[in-house]
Structure 1
Amino acid sequence: MTLNGKHALITGGGTGIGLAIAKMLVAQGAHVTITGRRQEVLEEVATEGMTAMAMDVRNEDEVVAKIASAVAARGPVQICIPNAGLATGKAAHKTDMTFWRDMMATNLDGAFLTIRECLPGMLSTDWGRVIAVSSMAGLKGLPGAACYSASKHGMIGLIRSLSEEYMGKPYTFNSLCPGYVDTEIVSRNTQSISERAGISTDAARDMMVKANRHKRLITVDEVSAAAAWLVGPDSGSINGQSIEIAGGMM
């Protein structure tokens, strides 16, 4: 099985995990629409086989219009990867509604809108894969990050429900749940943790490294390899799963 002729769409596709998955899909023959908030960032990284399309997943009208445009240009989206997300911690008693709503609008509402708008085209075909990039925080509570954990738990609930809704059809819905991955998000969080906890940046980074059971950061290629498995041959019985990529059970 190859992915020749299949259209994939990845939100947050200009950096980190999203870009790694985009490169993997292109290598297997798919055409990938990568989205993000900044067109210039997307265009800088887009290679042959990718189309850059600025899209803010928090804006329903924009998601509807942009995905319709992508489908009109490149056909139904058969591989939908809601990956765009915020990963910022804040103590619950310091979490105001602006912070809460922005996190939910990006991580959960954005995933829902992206999947919803890709589904009609996917359902007109004989094969489809939805792979949501959640987090280990979607499976366990994360201290100091109640908002983030809630948004990622919600994403997993959404995926599990969709897998039931379309059970028996040639479409699967799964979540990837990485631990701490070596991306720009870890770099930003290193500084944030350092400032909040009053510790050095080295100590802050070490906290995230040690949170992974194998005591190292996960690479983006390790996450994209899991996505490759889910779009590969004989993956049709993997459905409704939350696949942990964290160096060991957490």
Structure 2
Amino acid sequence: MVELPNSPHAVVTGAARGIGRQIALQMTGAGAVVTALGRQTAALEDLVAHGVAHSYVTADVTDQAAVVAAMREAAARQPIDILIANAGAAESASFAKSDAALFRRMMDVNFMGVVHSIQAALPAMRERPFGRIVVIASTAGLKGYAYVSAYAAAKHAAIGLVRSLALELASTRITVNAVCPGFTDTDLVAGSLDTIMKKTGRDRSAAVAELTKHNPQGRLISPTEVADTVLWLCGEGAGAVTGQAIAVAGGEI
């Protein structure tokens, strides 16, 4: 069991569902004071009601002013020690059909959302004795996939940010890392499976096989496996791990 030092305050963006929800749950279980950040008030209230998080703040990560205000509100309760920049979105289209608006949407949420979150949290975090920044990227940030060029470009950018910022902060006690899941068993992926089944007439097992064909283990990753990796990176034992992009993908590289 990973132990977190002195009940640190962790803010998890995109915490309302999927990987973000599981990260919040496991961070709370490990002794962190967790603030969930997201857009959907009802879903965030549900997290608090079920003990997944201690409190919540609302913001769209593409809105820099809203993120600054939300981080300020969270920090007023307790200074922020850990930031999990998880909020993201995926859209698929061939490159020929990927217009500038699609590229901007993917960059705004998957890259600039990370930038806004870190810029809002980092100045005060530098005054703390302990700090962790973990960006939830994707295997799409480590390699290319067909029909998701805008998404992959944004995730590559996020990983580049992680590697550069880690070097800037190497002399501090703040580490900066990325976790790169493969296709994960979330409601977002469930939507992709529904699309595959609708377009191809395949059953669910065949649709899963299509999504996981690049995973040597031939399966979807569980949100718990991703959250376990995040939790380890936030522990004292990972203090020398920074600037890394860790794939949680069943051996896919």
TM-score by length of 1: 0.94
> What residue is the counterpart of 1:44 in the other structure?
46
| 1:66-104 residue CA offsets vs partner (Å, 9 max, x unmatched) | 1111111222x1110110000221111101222221111
Q: Secondary structure of the equivalent of 1:234?
A: helix
Note if contact 2:214-2:252 (Cα within 8 Å) is conserved in structure 1: no
> What residue is the counterpart of 1:83 in the other structure?
86
Residue 232 of structure 1 and its aligned partner are, at CA, apart by 1.5
> What residue is the counterpart of 1:12 in the other structure?
14
Note if contact 1:79-1:129 (Cα within 8 Å) is conserved in structure 2: yes
Instruction: Please say if 1:233 is aligned against 2:219.
Output: no
Rounded Cα–Cα distance in structure 2 between residues aligned with 1:95 and 1:176: 26
> What residue is the counterpart of 2:194 in the other structure?
191
| 1:162-219 residue CA offsets vs partner (Å, 9 max, x unmatched) | 0011112111000001101100111111123345x53435233321133322001111
Rounded Cα–Cα distance in structure 2 between residues aligned with 1:14 and 1:145: 24
Gaps of 5+ in 1: none
Of 25, 31, 49, which aligns to 2:33? 31
Note if contact 1:3-1:25 (Cα within 8 Å) is conserved in structure 2: no
Rounded Cα–Cα distance in structure 2 between residues aligned with 1:199 and 1:91: 21
Q: What letter matches 2:41 in structure 1? A: Q
> What residue is the counterpart of 1:99 in the other structure?
102
Q: What is the identity percentage for the equivalent residue pairs of Structure 1 and Structure 2?
A: 36
Note if contact 2:5-2:236 (Cα within 8 Å) is conserved in structure 1: no
TM-score by length of 2: 0.93
Residue 63 of structure 1 and its aligned partner are, at CA, apart by 0.7
Instruction: Please say if 1:169 is aligned against 2:172.
Output: yes
Gaps of 5+ in 2: none
Q: Secondary structure of the equivalent of 1:35?
A: strand
Instruction: Please say if 1:64 is aligned against 2:68.
Output: yes
Note if contact 1:4-1:28 (Cα within 8 Å) is conserved in structure 2: no
Note if contact 2:12-2:24 (Cα within 8 Å) is conserved in structure 1: yes
> What residue is the counterpart of 2:58 in the other structure?
54
Q: What letter matches 1:50 in structure 2? A: H
> What residue is the counterpart of 2:127 in the other structure?
124
Q: What are the equivalent positions in structure 2 for 1:146-185 lying under 5 Å apart?
A: 146-185=149-188
Q: What letter matches 1:60 in structure 2? A: Q
> What residue is the counterpart of 1:204 in the other structure?
207
> What residue is the counterpart of 2:224 in the other structure?
221
RMSD: 1.5
Note if contact 1:134-1:152 (Cα within 8 Å) is conserved in structure 2: yes
Rounded Cα–Cα distance in structure 2 between residues aligned with 1:74 and 1:15: 24
